[in-house]
A and B are shown apart, each in its own frame.
Chain A
Amino acid sequence: MSVPTDLRYTKEHEWVRIEGDTATFGISDHAQEALGDIVFVELPEVGRSIDAGEAYGVVESVKAVSDVYAPVAGEVIEINETLESEADLVNSDPYGAGWIIKVKISDNNADTDLMNPSEYESFLDE
């Protein structure tokens, strides 16, 4: 199970990449594996404000459906529109082309709940 070292993770198996005041969200390799073949990703509208922990979209496989929750709060600045026609990118490249949205991080963010890669790996082992 791949767990890149430059990312932070949540207990719901989302990852976040923070670069300056921008954060990119996606679901982890473990999450995509558990869901199976992803067939559809429901994306939020650009401009929407999302709280940390709020469901901002939905990832669907043939027989399962899962909300995806924001690791940090922010305003949606970009969505991965490629997923509308190629949802399987979440399976094949969860940390790259399978990213879901980008947000501009809100000022009042406390990211204490996020796990670093080694914490996430031990969380997966539990």
Chain B
Amino acid sequence: MSQQYSSVSGMQHEEPLLFEHAHEAPESISLPGVQADAPSSLDAFKRKKAANIPGLSEPETVRHFVRLSQWNHGIETGFYPLGSCTMKYNPRVNEQIARLPGLAHVHPDQPEDSVQGILGLLHELQGWLAEIAGFKDVTLQPAAGAHGELAGLMMIRKCLDARGEENRKKVLVPDSAHGTNPASAALCGMYTVEIKSGADGRIDLEELKKHLDGDVAALMMTNPNTAGTFETDIKEICQLVHDAGGLVYGDGANLNALVGVARPGDMGLDCLHINVHKTFSTPHGGGGPGAGPVAVNDTLKPFLPVPRIVENAGVYAIETEDEQSIGTILSTLGQTGVYMRANAYISAFGKQHIHKIAQDAVLNANYVLSRLKDKYHVPFEGLCKHECLLTDEWQNKHGVKTLDIAKRLIDLGFHPMTVYFPLIVHGAMLIEPTETESKDTLDAFCDAMLEIAAQCEAGDTQALHDAPLKPIRRRLDETQAARKPVLVWSE
């Protein structure tokens, strides 16, 4: 093998569960406050049995979690080309500013005059997101992408009801859609009908037309779609749905392909949720927190959730009531700390550089595609946007599946791509490099993929089936986990 990959086996530590650190709890951390016990009025309610939370000393706690952290792969560790997830570098300065006491230790119910600074930052971000996405206004309340979908569909529902069209309940969803789409529609009392994608993986206009009738409430679409290609007929699609009396919901999970280059709002969509933990580089944190603000056009603006941040002559206020609003969907204004990071991220690019996000993201995806397309089956020919889709069709002949390829990549030092999604192709491998990876990294990843393809052709596939061998754990038995679920530790 010519190529040297970054992965090596280093010193790894087994680390027991917290509950297995078998010793008596040391003296507990010293705590401030009124150094007294609770009043006797609470005596009747006291716990009869302690909760049995272990309690370790500070050095033990730090070592425990640092060891656990070392079993993880993060963007800071290495390449993380998870399709549809936009795993880009998370700037450290964003972490620093989000922790300023004047932002981190502010109570959400402080009087408005004591939070003008943070309200200003949030209001500014609202405006920027509307501008980048090409819409009129934005709500920051949704706590994640799926929550944004719910908010968007609630607004669509309310808008249709206001038009006297309570009966429209059909939500059209392409078969390539994220699973959150139908789940969100069901929560709104609507039902979904799947539209079969065309041979090129895009929405088929003729197929779409068949479903457009008086029952249609909305089309939910992702553009670029989950196959990584742009819906070139976007304008006509929106027009058809509008002509049929429905609205168009945009799933903004893939906004990274367009940011600063083109705007979904200009293409005819009625709203778009934005995953700031994707496009605007707030860290994923091993599964959150994210934030899912929703941008809307004039049609849906009256129905935005409350509370809303408004500005009047340089003074910011929080509006909590509005008759037309869909109401409230969270107990606070939103995931403010996440938005501080998003604001800082956009500030760093500004109008001079913002388009470079999409340009480099799309450049990188197409570059990877061009290097791999002769050795991996490409289901949909042509340009891709910020991510490229391959399948395991050619490797299947050698008894190798997508899962084997993914696990082998781990041994070579890379986080695998998204596997088995979208569902419209068999054995999908969706690769999203993002704009923050260097050409060297992309080349190393492509070399690894080509090496795997060559091993398949040579019939030298044992290492693929055995992989991964290098991490602290090998393939895990998911069947056992699901058959006899053990979700809590018992001594």
Contact = CB atoms under 8 A, between A and B. Distances in A.
State if A and B touch, Cβ cutoff 8 Å: yes
Interface string A66-89: 000000000000000000000110
Nearest to B483: A39
Interface of B: 420, 478-479, 482-483
Contacts of B479: 37, 39, 61-62
Nearest to B420: A63
Cβ-closest 7 pairs across A and B = A39-B482, A37-B479, A39-B483, A62-B478, A62-B482, A62-B479, A39-B479
Contacts of B478: 62
A63 B420 CA distance: 11
A63 B479 CA distance: 9
A91 B482 CA distance: 15
10 contacts: A37-B479, A39-B482, A39-B483, A40-B483, A60-B482, A61-B479, A62-B478, A62-B479, A62-B482, A88-B483
Q: Is the interface of A mostly helix, strand, loop or mixed?
A: loop
A55 to B, nearest CB: 16
Contacts of A39: 479, 482-483
Contacts of A40: 482-483
A44 to B, nearest CB: 21
A122 to B, nearest CB: 25
A6 to B, nearest CB: 30
B130 to A, nearest CB: 39
Most buried by A among B420, B478, B479: B479
Most buried by B among A37, A61, A88: A37
A78 to B, nearest CB: 23
A3 B299 CA distance: 58
A60 B485 CA distance: 14
A88 B479 CA distance: 10
Nearest to A87: B483
A57 B204 CA distance: 35
A40 B482 CA distance: 8
Contacts of A88: 483
B234 to A, nearest CB: 32
Nearest to A36: B479
A86 to B, nearest CB: 9
Most buried by B among A39, A60, A61: A39
Contacts of A60: 482
Contacts of A87: 483
Contacts of B482: 39-40, 60, 62
A51 to B, nearest CB: 20
A98 B482 CA distance: 18
A88 B482 CA distance: 11
Contacts of B420: 63
Contacts of A61: 479
Given A37-B479, A40-B483, 8 more contacts: A37-B483, A39-B483, A40-B482, A60-B482, A62-B478, A62-B479, A87-B483, A88-B483
A39 B478 CA distance: 10
A60 B483 CA distance: 10
A40 B478 CA distance: 13
Contacts of B483: 37, 39-40, 87-88
A63 B483 CA distance: 12
A121 B473 CA distance: 43
A61 to B, nearest CB: 8
A60 B420 CA distance: 18
A42 B425 CA distance: 29
A8 B483 CA distance: 29
